[in-house]
Chain A
Amino acid sequence: MKNHKAIQVHSLSKRFGGFVAVDGITFDVERGEIFGFLGANGAGKTTAIKMLIGLSRPSAGEASIAGYDVYKETEQIKENIGYMSQRFSLYEDLTVRQNIRFYGGIYGLSRKEIQTRTDEIIDQLKLGHHARKVVADLPLGWKQRLAFAVASVHHPAIIFMDEPTGGVDPATRRQFWEMIYEAADQGTTIFVTTHYMDEAEYCDRISIMVAGKMEALGTPRELKNQFDVVSMDDVFLKLART
């Protein structure tokens, strides 16, 4: 086993002209950790995530993902991560099986591996005979869990999720998080952005971004103590007001 942290970020910045979207953020994420990446809309979360997954080149600073450098080794990074975007990133007009087959295919899985993974995922999600339905006909909660399963079809070391639970009720969110815990227990690192504060409580550690800077970092309990409040909501409000 290689001796490195899942994610290491040091003074990472991104400028667009005169505007600094991400301003020197520094943090580490351990393997198998669930790391919550919080912030209001426009705080720089999406820009930061894009740099980490190799879609956008940083302006300054250093970062390594699964031991690979974000400047030079974006190809290796892409092979070792899974990504789930805000909009579930499934093809609505394709069936469940076709979606899994496609994502397996683009991550270079062999025909046999794809077959095995497809059966595993359908089994795990208890989709059964729904597997031949087009995704558009599935309920939202199922789509969401399928999107997560698809993002981990190639057993990535780290899964990045950009607001994965938008528009979903708390009960369904809870189910979704059980899947995340299961993956984390098996050693997968989870990096998740959200603006639901109940979700923040589920994370091992969280960071809060305000206007491009990382203003808070720690376990939910630590942060609540630090800001002397009872809920994550209040931590967030306190930070946002200053």
Chain B
Amino acid sequence: MTRIFLAFVQKEIYHILRDPRTLAILFGMPIALVLIFGYTVTNEFKDASVAVVDRSHDHLSHQLTQHLTSSGHLRLIEVYDRMEELEAAFRSGEVKMGVVIPVQFEQRFVDGKPVQLQLITDATEPNYAATLTGYATQMIQTFQLERGEGGNNPFRVDIETRMFYNPGLVGAYNFIPGVVALILMLISAMMTSLTIAREKEMGTMDLLLASPLSPLVIILGKVTPYAVLSFMSSVLVFAMGYFIFDVPIHGSLPLLLSLCLLYLLVALALGVLISTRAETQQVAMMMSMFTLLMPTMLLSGFLFPTASMPALLRFLSKIIPANYFIQIEKAIMLKGAGIEFILTPTLVLILMLFVLLVASWRSFKISYK
């Protein structure tokens, strides 16, 4: 039995080696995704161009302007006198945020009278604008505290923010786990469904079924090489995260990798299920795209937070395996959690695996009646 199984795996390896595109997808895509997410899709900003409309021109307003640009994240483009000039700068796209300092700024500040600063942002890029205002607000608050003045109000509430587990709000802490979840789902499920659908399309499936091979060996033989390769590929992504983007792995690496394997099995079972329904590679491809790729991207909480979604989508996100796996990854990598803290998502994945295995086995039997 082992010899037959090995003959099968050997054939699968021939297929993979014959078509370099497979290997390119298996290893090129993860690398491309990590680099794309790492260097482009990010909420961090550097050198955001800022202009100040200074209606006060006193000592304090100059100090504030200096304070804002001192961090290096904001770059001062110009100090204007009039609003019209700022508006023109916005329209030309030179400036992403404007800070308007009112008249008698220092005077009112010292007297303890309310002072209103205005922050204007270019919200054609909403996320960027929100991050910028958040950052600027924080800078202004620290400025106010440092000056100590205007702080005679006894009812003042100081807010001190601490970002647990990701103090620098580094994007990589979020996308590395997300990319691993996406890659594993995509490669293992899509590749398996494609390779099984290919046997059907070429007519070789009939021959395999007419041979003494049991259907279980056929499925295992097809799935094993891809399981090994996609596991290697996810280790590659973790390594890139660790070495290039400094994403920590605080928890146990063996635990992380074994749960990675569990998630991989879920993905493979999904791939087999799809392949029992798809007669051609093209259909298998479309089915994986719409049932795996899109939902995993959109509903796993990797790109968009699920908490703010409408009830129906929130419900759908609950049946996306990636959702649970990302929870597990983040808990282990960033919080250093042990198995006792991730029991629920782990059990959900085990349950999903069981259901999918039963479903694909039944579906396989039905389609070869």
Interface of chain A residues 53 through 75 with chain B (CB within 8 A): 53-57, 75
- CB of A105 within 8 A of CB of B3, answer yes
| Cα A107 to Cα B4 with chains together (Å) | 7
Question: Nearest CB to that of A98 among chain B residues?
Answer: B14
Q: Which of A86, A101, A106, A107 contacts B203 (CB 8 A)?
A: A86
- CB of B7 within 8 A of CB of A87, answer no
- CB of A55 within 8 A of CB of B368, answer yes
Question: Nearest CB to that of A83 among chain B residues?
Answer: B210
| Cα A105 to Cα B206 with chains together (Å) | 17
- Measured CB to CB, the closest approach of chain A to B25, in angstroms, equals 16
Interface of chain A residues 26 through 84 with chain B (CB within 8 A): 53-57, 75, 78-79, 81, 83-84
- CB of A89 within 8 A of CB of B15, answer no
Interface size on B, residues (CB 8 A): 24
- CB of A75 within 8 A of CB of B18, answer no
B4: A residues at CB distance < 8 A: 105-106, 108
Given A83-B206, A85-B207, A89-B204: A106 in contact with B7 (beta carbons within 8 A): yes
- CB of B369 within 8 A of CB of A56, answer yes
Interface centre among B14, B202, B211 (most CB of A within 10 A): B211
- Measured CB to CB, the closest approach of chain B to A183, in angstroms, equals 18
Interface centre among A57, A89, A101, A110 (most CB of B within 10 A): A89
Q: Is the CB of B208 closer than 8 A to any CB of chain A? A: yes
| Cα A90 to Cα B4 with chains together (Å) | 18
A84: B residues at CB distance < 8 A: 207
Interface of chain B residues 1 through 55 with chain A (CB within 8 A): 3-4, 6-8, 10-11, 14-15, 18-19
- Measured CB to CB, the closest approach of chain A to B220, in angstroms, equals 13
Q: Is the CB of B213 closer than 8 A to any CB of chain A? A: yes
| Cα A134 to Cα B8 with chains together (Å) | 18
Q: Is the CB of B303 closer than 8 A to any CB of chain A? A: no
Q: Is the CB of A94 closer than 8 A to any CB of chain B? A: yes
The interface residues of chain B, by DSSP majority, are classed as: helix
Given A101-B7, A105-B7: A91 in contact with B210 (beta carbons within 8 A): no
Question: Nearest CB to that of A105 among chain B residues?
Answer: B7
Q: Is the CB of B114 closer than 8 A to any CB of chain A? A: no
- CB of A89 within 8 A of CB of B3, answer no
The interface residues of chain A, by DSSP majority, are classed as: loop
Interface of chain A residues 154 through 172 with chain B (CB within 8 A): 160
Q: Is the CB of B209 closer than 8 A to any CB of chain A? A: yes
Q: Is the CB of A92 closer than 8 A to any CB of chain B? A: yes
Q: Is the CB of A93 closer than 8 A to any CB of chain B? A: yes
- CB of A83 within 8 A of CB of B10, answer no
Q: Is the CB of A102 closer than 8 A to any CB of chain B? A: yes
- Measured CB to CB, the closest approach of chain A to B219, in angstroms, equals 14
- CB of A83 within 8 A of CB of B207, answer yes
A56: B residues at CB distance < 8 A: 369
Q: Which of A55, A91, A160 contacts B15 (CB 8 A)?
A: A91
Question: Nearest CB to that of A104 among chain B residues?
Answer: B7
Q: Is the CB of B72 closer than 8 A to any CB of chain A? A: no
B204: A residues at CB distance < 8 A: 87, 89-91
| Cα A81 to Cα B213 with chains together (Å) | 13
Q: Is the CB of B212 closer than 8 A to any CB of chain A? A: yes
B6: A residues at CB distance < 8 A: 105
| Cα A55 to Cα B206 with chains together (Å) | 9
10 intermolecular pairs with C-beta atoms under 8 Å apart: A78-B210, A83-B206, A87-B204, A91-B202, A94-B11, A98-B14, A102-B11, A105-B6, A105-B7, A108-B3
Interface residues of A (CB under 8 A from B): 53-57, 75, 78-79, 81, 83-94, 98, 101-108, 110, 134, 160
